[in-house]
């Protein structure tokens, strides 16, 4: 297996870094004592190669209140920043790219308005636009993980692949932020049955879960987003980057 890219996550709500329980703000947020710009600089100092940002204000209320902050995050680091949350039209996508976002992550729009999503995908290309699938009990959830869609993840993943998507971020919401262990089977199934590259997200508790990822991953699962386990020091940051990127999983 090739090297595994570790991607730290920065969740933003009301301009602050938070850890949202199961990705649903109404269930409670844990605030971390660092603003998002400072946090991005910390992760870069820890040798992160990419940062994943989620704008929960945009995801829930379509607010653009964090856009200036998002631009500051992009300006503060020299590594790619990808962002998801509330991207529902071409105008928003264009603005985020203009702010310096390297890659936009789109979830809800892919199930509610596929033609608009395809327009964005065709304009910016599959390197700049990736899809997100958030799952609860084998059903995709939308609008900041607050509404059920009635759509099965594997069926939708195949539809996205057919539309030209080359990467999907897969999250089992029931595991997200809970340190309950990752649902690696879900990510593996989507990767192997659709042929798209998959970034796994949700449930990583520590280094042993990264080792478990090796047993499910192939060339299509090449990266993992980690949030709470990093913030709460479940493993030394420098160690996981050094080990993950030195070919230990070969």
Longest dimension (CA), the chain: 44
Instruction: Judge whether 222 counts as a catalytic residue.
Output: no
Instruction: Judge whether 134 counts as a catalytic residue.
Output: yes
Identify the active-site residue in 55, 134, 172, 209. Answer: 134
d(CA 92, CA 113): 15
Active site residues: 11, 134
């Amino acid at each position: 297996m090739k090297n595994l890219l570790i991607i730290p996550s920065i969740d933003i709500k009301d301009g602050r870094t938070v850890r949202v329980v199961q990705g649903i703000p109404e269930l409670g947020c844990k605030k971390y004592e660092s603003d998002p710009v400072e946090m991005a600089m910390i992760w870069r100092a820890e040798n992160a190669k990419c940062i994943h940002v989620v704008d929960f204000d945009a995801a829930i209320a379509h607010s653009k209140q964090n856009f200036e902050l998002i631009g500051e995050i992009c300006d503060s680091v020299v590594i790619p920043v990808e962002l998801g949350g509330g991207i529902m039209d071409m105008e928003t996508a264009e603005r985020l790219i203009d702010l310096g976002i390297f890659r936009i992550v789109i979830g809800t729009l892919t199930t509610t308005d596929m033609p608009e999503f395809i327009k964005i995908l065709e304009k910016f290309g599959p390197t700049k636009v990736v899809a997100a699938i958030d799952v609860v009990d084998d059903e995709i959830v939308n609008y900041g993980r607050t509404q059920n869609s009635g759509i099965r993840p594997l069926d939708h993943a195949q539809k996205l692949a057919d539309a030209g998507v080359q990467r999907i971020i897969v999250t089992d919401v029931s595991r997200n932020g809970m340190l309950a262990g990752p649902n690696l089977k879900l990510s593996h199934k989507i990767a192997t049955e659709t042929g798209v590259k998959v970034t796994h997200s949700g449930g990583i508790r520590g280094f042993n879960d990264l080792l478990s990822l090796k047993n499910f991953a192939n060339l299509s699962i090449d990266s993992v987003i980690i949030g709470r386990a990093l913030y709460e020091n479940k493993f030394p940051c420098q160690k996981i980057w050094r080990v993950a990127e030195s070919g230990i999983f070969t």
